[in-house]
Amino acid sequence: MMPLSGGGTVGMETTMQTGSMQLRVLAPTNIVVDEPVTKVIAEAENGSFCLEPRHVDFVAALVPGLFEFASATGEIRFMAIDEGILVKSGQEVSVSVRHAVIGPDLGDLEQTVHEEFETLDDRERVARSAIARLEADFVRRFLQLGESHRV
């Protein structure tokens, strides 16, 4: 985690007055979370940490695991994340991750994560198979090109 210089952000008066932060969790294809929160608990390479509205600005490299946050209404929510980056600047907490799955409770989240990983595994198998076919085709054509120059 690395402290940042500077303070709050212009235009964040609403979250500053209510004692909350604006949490934005972004994945490559969608916005997973964009809501006011009062607390964020995450895990970096050097351990877990908690963020609250008046904490210092900083950056952390997140490791795969659970990401917990308390909504402005006090509801505790959980999210399973892949590796990513968290940036706290003033009252904004931005998180960029490769994959994120949100669930109302840990039991449902576990089931959702298993389903998501099965889908990802299937996609990766299809992609690996396509790459293997391309590589084999490339080698075959390269060998054919070499044979045609020998004649």
DSSP string, 82-114: -SEEEEEETTEEEEEES-EEEESSHHHHHHHHH
11 — pLDDT class (breaks 50, 70, 90): very low
What pLDDT digit, counting tens, does each position of 48-99 carry? 999 999 999 989 999 988 899 999 998 999 898 889 999 999 999 999 998 8
pTM confidence score: 0.65
Largest CA distance in the chain: 82
Q: By the 8 A CB rule, do 38 and 21 touch?
A: yes
CATH superfamily for domain 2-104? F0F1 ATP synthase delta/epsilon subunit, N-terminal (2.60.15.10)
Window from 7-11, 33-37, 52-56 with minimum mean pLDDT: 7-11
Give the C-alpha separation, 65 to 83, whole Å: 8
% the chain with pLDDT above 70: 79
Give the C-alpha separation, 24 to 93, whole Å: 6
Compute the average pLDDT of residues 109-132.
Answer: 72
Give the C-alpha separation, 99 to 28, whole Å: 8
